[in-house]
Amino acid sequence: MKPLFLFGYLMVLLGLTSCERWGLSGYKYNQGSFPDRPVNLGEINSADDDYNSDIPFYGEVVPLIFSSKRGNRSDFNLVSENFNYSFDRKTGRFTLDNRPYGGLDILGEQAPVHWLPNLVNSEGNELGPYLRSYDHELIVDGWGKHYGEYLMMFAGDRTGNMDIYFTHNFQETPVAPTAGGNRAGNKLFSKVVPLPFLNSEADDAYPTFSREYDAIYFTSNRQGSFDIYRATLPGIPVTELHHRLPALKTASVERVTELSSASNDKCPYILGDLMVFTSNRPGGLGGYDLYYSRFADGKWSEPVNFGPSVNTPYDEYRPILREPPNYKQRLLLFSSNRPGGKGGFDLYLVGVPK
pLDDT of residue 180: 57
pLDDT of residue 2: 45
pLDDT of residue 178: 62
- Residue 270 three-state SS: strand
For 176, residues 6+ apart whose C-beta sits below 8 A from its C-beta are 186
149 and 231 fall within a common domain: yes
120 and 238 fall within a common domain: yes
**Helix, strand, coil shares of the chain as percentages rounded to 5?**
15, 35, 50
CA–CA gap between residue 208 and residue 349 (Å, rounded): 20
250 and 341 fall within a common domain: yes
175 and 108 fall within a common domain: yes
pLDDT of residue 249: 92
CATH of the domain at 276: 2.120.10
99 close to 81: Cβ distance less than 8 angstroms: no
Of 331, 254, 234, whose CA–CA distance to 299 is shortest?
254
52 close to 127: Cβ distance less than 8 angstroms: yes
106 and 145 fall within a common domain: yes
Of 236, 232, 230, 247, whose CA–CA distance to 194 is shortest?
247
Of 102, 119, 189, 118, whose CA–CA distance to 148 is shortest?
189
- Residue 8 three-state SS: helix
CA–CA gap between residue 69 and residue 47 (Å, rounded): 9
Of 291, 278, 353, whose CA–CA distance to 323 is shortest?
353
262 and 341 fall within a common domain: yes
Running DSSP on this structure, what letter comes out for residue 238? Answer: G
59 and 10 fall within a common domain: no
68 and 126 fall within a common domain: yes
All residue ranges of the chain with pLDDT < 70 are 1-26, 58, 102-103, 142-143, 174-181
Would you say the pTM of this structure is higher than 0.75? yes
pLDDT of residue 221: 97
330 and 224 fall within a common domain: yes
17 and 105 fall within a common domain: no
Running DSSP on this structure, what letter comes out for residue 109? Answer: H
pLDDT of residue 27: 75
Tell me how many domains the chain contains. Answer: 2
What is the per-residue pLDDT across 50-64, written as a single tens digit (0 to 9) for each? 999 999 876 778 889
Which residues span the domain enclosing 236?
38-352
124 and 10 fall within a common domain: no
pLDDT of residue 181: 62
CA angle 339, 340, 344 (to 5 degrees): 60
CA–CA gap between residue 100 and residue 112 (Å, rounded): 16
For the chain, the residue count is 354
26 and 130 fall within a common domain: no
221 close to 262: Cβ distance less than 8 angstroms: no
